[in-house]
Structure 1
Amino acid sequence: MNRDTLQKFGLSDEQVNQVMAEHGKDLEKSKGVESELEQLKQQNTDLTSQIAERDKQLKDLSGKAGDNEELQTQIKALQDQNKQAKADYEANIATLKRDGAIELALREAKAKNPKAVKALLNDGTITVDDSGVHGLKEQLEQLQESDSYLFDAEPEPKPGVKVTGSGNPSGGIDGNKNVNDMSLEEMTAAYQKNPALFG
């Protein structure tokens, strides 16, 4: 999206500035979400390597413990705790990734109140993997049809009126001429003859 495109839609400079300001806010929010996801990925990498290091230490310790049954039991309990901590962490990361993806999709769908729209989604059918988000797009499309008031509608571009310096001395109206190509005098005459052209 750029200023030239918006101006081609017939928006005034003020309207273009407002649209660009809103677009800028959306981009900043998206950057914030991407930054959070990058931080989470880094944390995930760090914690995964820490857990791997602990598992290696426990394995080494287990080899040194030999036949000491009490120590072997403690090591086994620690290994189980490590496995559970890793599983819990991975589940939390998956939930955070899914929530971030949903938040981003709601912003892109121009939800007026993302929290309200999210409450209407069937959360259990939404999954996120390396290939993307699944089960969300269809739900959003259904909501946009059934509850369109929850989303900002894209304004339909209106054709701009072009006023030129050339006149029509005869005062005649060319019925095949586009309104955008008419001079002020031609538009005035056309409006007086058929106001519906300008509706």
Structure 2
Amino acid sequence: MNRDTLQKFGLSDEQVNQVMAEHGKDLEKSKAVESELEQVKQQNTELTSQITDRDKQLKDLSGKAGDDEELQSQIKALQEQNKQSKTDYEANIATLKRDGAIELALREAQAKNPKAVKALLNGDIISVDDSGVHGLKEQLEQLKESDSYLFNIEPEPKPGLKITPSGNPGGGVNAEKNIADMSLEEMTAEYQKNPALFG
């Protein structure tokens, strides 16, 4: 989106400035979300590395412990805790990725109140993987149809009223004169002659 494109749509300089200001705000929000997501990815890498190191240390310790049952028991408990921590962490990362993707999609869909729209989404069927976000686009499209007031959607321009005469072209509306070009008096006169043409 740039100023030239907006001016081609017939917007005034003031309107263009307002649209560009709003667009700038949206870009800043998107950059903030991307930055947060990047931090989460970095933390994920670091924590995954830490968990791998711990598992290796526990395995080494287990080999050194030999037959000491109490020590073996403690090691197994720590290994289980590590597995659970890793599972919980991966679940949290998946939730953060999904929430970030939803926030971004709501901005792109121009939701007036992202929190309200998010409450209407079924989060259980939304998932994020390396190939993208699944189960979100369809829900947003349905909401745009059923609850369009929740989104900043510009209505499509309605075509102008065009009435074409039917029946006998020699009688009724002057076929050479377009109704849109008639004055009110001419339209009234034509309506009085043949009201069916205007119905």
Fold similarity call, TM over 0.5 = yes
CA displacement 1:147-187 (0-9 Å, x = unmatched): 00000013658xxxxxxxxxxxxxxxxx9xxxxxxxxxxxx
Relative to structure 1, the CA distance from residue 30 to residue 116 in structure 2 (aligned partners, 3 Å threshold; closer, same or farther) is same
Counterpart of 1:20 in structure 2: which amino acid? Answer: M
Secondary structure, aligned partner of 2:110: coil
Counterpart of 1:106 in structure 2: which amino acid? Answer: L
Secondary structure, aligned partner of 2:81: helix
Equivalent residues in 2 for 1:126-141 (5 A)?
Answer: 126-141=126-141
Secondary structure, aligned partner of 1:133: strand
1:124 aligns with 2:124: yes
Q: Find the counterpart in structure 2 of residue 88 from structure 1.
A: 88
Which stretch has the larger CA shift, 146-155 or 108-117?
146-155
1: CA distance between counterparts of 2:153 and 2:55?
54
**Which protein, 1 or 2, shows the higher relative CO under an 8 Å CA cutoff with sep ≥ 6?**
1
Deviation (angstroms), 1:94: 0.1
Q: Find the counterpart in structure 1 of residue 163 from structure 2.
A: none
Q: Find the counterpart in structure 1 of residue 38 from structure 2.
A: 38
TM-score, structure 2 normalization: 0.78
Q: Find the counterpart in structure 1 of residue 189 from structure 2.
A: none
Moved over 6 A (4+): none
Deviation (angstroms), 1:122: 1.0
2: CA distance between counterparts of 1:121 and 1:44?
27
1: CA distance between counterparts of 2:51 and 2:120?
38
2: CA distance between counterparts of 1:155 and 1:4?
22
Equivalent residues in 2 for 1:40-79 (5 A)?
Answer: 40-79=40-79
Deviation (angstroms), 1:123: 1.1
Counterpart of 1:49 in structure 2: which amino acid? Answer: S
Deviation (angstroms), 1:194: 5.5
Give structure 2 stretches of 5+ with no counterpart.
158-175, 185-199
Secondary structure, aligned partner of 2:28: helix
Q: Find the counterpart in structure 1 of residue 7 from structure 2.
A: 7
Give structure 1 stretches of 5+ with no counterpart.
158-174, 176-190
What's the RMSD between the two structures over aligned residues? Answer: 2.0
Equivalent residues in 2 for 1:144-163 (5 A)?
Answer: 144-154=144-154
Q: Find the counterpart in structure 2 of residue 103 from structure 1.
A: 103
Secondary structure, aligned partner of 1:111: coil
Relative to structure 1, the CA distance from residue 78 to residue 86 in structure 2 (aligned partners, 3 Å threshold; closer, same or farther) is same
Q: Find the counterpart in structure 2 of residue 21 from structure 1.
A: 21
2: CA distance between counterparts of 1:68 and 1:193?
103
TM-score, structure 1 normalization: 0.78
2: CA distance between counterparts of 1:27 and 1:91?
29
1:115 aligns with 2:115: yes
Relative to structure 1, the CA distance from residue 194 to residue 56 in structure 2 (aligned partners, 3 Å threshold; closer, same or farther) is farther
Identity score, percent: 85
1: CA distance between counterparts of 2:3 and 2:107?
21
